[in-house]
Amino acid sequence: EIESLKDKVLTEIDFYAKPDATIGSSTSGIMPSELQQNLTHPERFIVAHPFHPVYILPLVEIVAGKSTSEATTIAAERIYESIGMDVLHVRHEIEGHIADRLMEALWREALHIVNDGIATTEEVDKAFTHAAGLRYA
Inform me whether the pLDDT recorded for 45 exceeds 80.
Answer: yes
Q: Considering only 18-22, 111-115, 130-134, which range has the smallest mean pLDDT?
A: 130-134
User: What is the average pLDDT across 71-94?
Assistant: 97
Instruction: State the Cα–Cα distance between residues 130 and 137, nearest whole angstrom.
Output: 11
User: What is the average pLDDT across 51-61?
Assistant: 93
- The letter for the amino acid at 121 is T
pTM exceeds 0.75 = yes
Report the percentage of the chain scoring pLDDT > 70: 100
Given 3.40.50.720, 2.60.420.10, 3.30.9.10, 2.40.50.140, which CATH number is that of 3-90? 3.40.50.720
Q: In the 8-state DSSP scheme, what is residue 37?
A: T
